[in-house]
Structure 1
Amino acid sequence: MNSSAPPAAGPVFTGLGVLSAFGPGLAPLAAAAARGGTGFAEVTRFDVARRGTRRAALLADPPPLADAVLGALADACGPSGLPSGAPLLLALHSDLNTRGTAALVSQGAAALGLAGVGRVYTGACVAAATAVADAAALVGSGRYPRVVVAAGHLVEPGVFAAFDAGRALARDGALRPFSAGRSGTLLGDAAVAVVVEAADAAAARGVRPLARLAGWGRSGDAYHVCRPRPDGAGVARAVRSALARAGVAPSAVDYVNANGTGSPMSDLAEARALHEVFGAALETLPVSSSKSVHGHALEASALIELAVTIGVLDGGQLPVNAGWLGPDPEVGLELVLAPRPDARPRCALSLNSAFGGANTALLVAAA
């Protein structure tokens, strides 16, 4: 791995709570990702008999969404011994239930000692990453010593039907990022929370950080309402912005947790962006999409993928790019196709893109 790690600056992550199709906690999710064991199964939560795709990565017996998010918040805030008063930034899917869910989360968060929901992010698949970037800016400016970010999405029949009708879901029931024969994405449940804290504030509390947010970048393509810009220029700008904020060269990156939705067009555009930024170094840079294991959680996707990336830095095991059928000659990435238990990356990128051309890059470094 590369030795030119980012300097020890920027905010740190001091708490993390996760609920996924693999159950509560990061450990079962990270273990599944490391072996490429997917959480996809036939949907029984609601009727999918008339759908072209019938699989998703779902909790067997999910709580209400607000309760799921509050559970993740309790796990994130409890172990870190979080002082009271931290603001909460919340990412949710925009629908008729958003206001009510946010209100319930705000009430429950107050019981945990948080200041309540300060902002609600509904910016599609980059919502949670945008909230993390804003939290880092708030902490970095000195306005708050710590900010909590939470996100949740439990797959509902209406969203499932809309994605199925738009032919965005994989017709063969497998999410195959960057693979030949990929045909779309699959949805998944997730509720995640992280504590973003100033490094000196964490040190004063005697808390060992989980990882550091070395840099972050955001961009907008404004290319098409749902199609990605084919050359991936917006993704490339977001990545370069994250690297520049961290003050490091592309060679500092040891692993990329790609957006990798399994869509033929978006995967190719993302691959082109990575080629533009990393050049020849991409030949040996491990890349995978943890969506291939836990599914696409829409507004919560960026946060569950960030959690997986933090777990990679802590445990050293790279997520396997599941669903692989064979190489797409236009992609040309060094994909993680088998377990790599001793990778030990020190710096990793987590990438997300959304309808409307929004792109985010979070550069995470080992603490």
Structure 2
Amino acid sequence: MAVAAMAVRTGFGRGGAGLLGAGFAGTPAFAPVTRFDTAGRRTDRAATLPGCPDLAEELTGVVAEVCAGLTAAQRAATPVLLAAHADAANAEVAAAVVAGTGVAGVPRTYTNACVAASTAVADAATVLRTGRAERVVVAAGYLVEPAMFGLFDAGRALARDGRARPFSRGRQGMVLGDGVAAVLLTPDTGSPLATIEGWGRTGDGHHVVKPAPDGSGLARAIGTALERGGVDPAEVGYVNANGTGTEFNDAAEVAALRRVFARAPVPVSSTKSVHGHALEASGLVELVVTVLALGEGRLPVNAGYLGPDPACELDLVLEPRTAAPRYALTLNSAFGGANTALLVGAP
């Protein structure tokens, strides 16, 4: 499956240039939130677009960007799989995207938390492989808002120091971030930006919010993606990790990576360390970053690192690193023990 076009909007603005540059430099977009009152919260930081953007408008914009090269007839035959936070307004958002872009419709909206977008990508691959569509757009969006900010803050999941520090000693939690993205997927194209070679999905069911400490669920998802793509772990040259910067999630993910890559450690970073956690949109934002990095032949930095944690021993990318991996993985995990892995092939 080919990635034919991409569009992204994050706290670094509209487009991938600022996002990728920050990923290589390790410079985060975290700043005080101004679109709602954070008084009384443990932190006031997030990575946000300026002002108070409208989710329907932003999603319409990225879908229009990736469909710019299609004829009206092609757009009218192209479904959109949408990942967004569960909300009564989702039907209105979907209708606005259809009206604003001329696509076939939004047959499904994914709301399964932090694996929503990556699950949609996996389903898009199935749609294409079974010939049910000639092309599929996957779109995802989350804009930082007071309800989820307050919920994660009350649960002490947000970093009090306002920095995401995945796999680092002294990490205090995650930092939320705006993320809106779209990708146009096709069965084949002459010059793709990248390919999706495999995908895996598992549910370990260990705990309502905590991952299985041994990483078994995520390891199975990675193994499934590699098996589906016919790729040996030693062929993978980069992992864009889920890496939220929370104590238990990071340690469990390290356990999963050690299970899969015991014979050949792989370079790892979490780009959430610069663009923040975009919840339902995370999987798509991180897929876009991974594809951009493969195209540049460099690996993004694991920003915010303070020093080693014995529970998180990995080959972390702590400085810009030149590399030309044939394959990369992008990983996501969510509450309830849901895990996804996307195997990305370089163009």
Matching residue's letter, 1:209: P
Check 1:318–1:198 CA distance in 2 against 1; reply closer, same or farther (3 A cut). Answer: same
1:234 to 197, 208, 217: 217
Hey, what does 2:263 align to over in structure 1? 280
Matching residue's letter, 1:366: A
- Give the TM-score normalised by the residue count of structure 1: 0.92
Residue 352 (1) aligns with residue 332 (2): yes
Q: CA deviation at 1:81?
A: 6.4
User: d(CA) in 2 for partners of 1:151 and 1:297?
Assistant: 10
Hey, what does 1:118 align to over in structure 2? 107
| CA RMSD, Structure 1 to Structure 2 (Å) | 1.2
Residue 181 (1) aligns with residue 170 (2): yes
Percent identical among aligned pairs is 56
Q: CA deviation at 1:78?
A: 1.3
Structure 2 unaligned segments of length 5 or more: list them: none
User: d(CA) in 2 for partners of 1:294 and 1:191?
Assistant: 11
User: d(CA) in 1 for partners of 2:195 and 2:268?
Assistant: 20
How many residue pairs were aligned? 345
Residues 207-226 of structure 1 aligned to structure 2 (within 5 Å): 208-226=191-209
Residue 332 (1) aligns with residue 313 (2): yes
1:306 to 257, 273, 287: 287
Matching residue's letter, 1:16: M
Q: CA deviation at 1:346?
A: 2.0
Structure 1 unaligned segments of length 5 or more: list them: 1-10
Query: In the TM superposition, what whole-angstrom CA distance separates every residue of 1:147-206 from its partner, at most 9, and x where no partner exists?
Result: 11000000111111111001110111110000001111000001100011011xx34xxx
User: d(CA) in 2 for partners of 1:239 and 1:186?
Assistant: 25
Q: CA deviation at 1:62?
A: 4.1
Hey, what does 2:22 align to over in structure 1? 32
Matching residue's letter, 2:344: V
Hey, what does 2:11 align to over in structure 1? 21
Hey, what does 1:161 align to over in structure 2? 150
User: d(CA) in 2 for partners of 1:94 and 1:107?
Assistant: 21
Matching residue's letter, 1:350: T
Hey, what does 1:293 align to over in structure 2? 274
Hey, what does 2:344 align to over in structure 1? 364
User: d(CA) in 2 for partners of 1:346 and 1:28?
Assistant: 24
Q: CA deviation at 1:80?
A: 6.3
Query: Contact between 1:175 and 1:323, CA under 8 Å: does it hold in 2?
Result: yes
- The 3-state SS of whatever aligns with 1:330 is helix
1:131 to 120, 132, 148: 120
Residue 101 (1) aligns with residue 81 (2): no
Q: CA deviation at 1:228?
A: 0.7
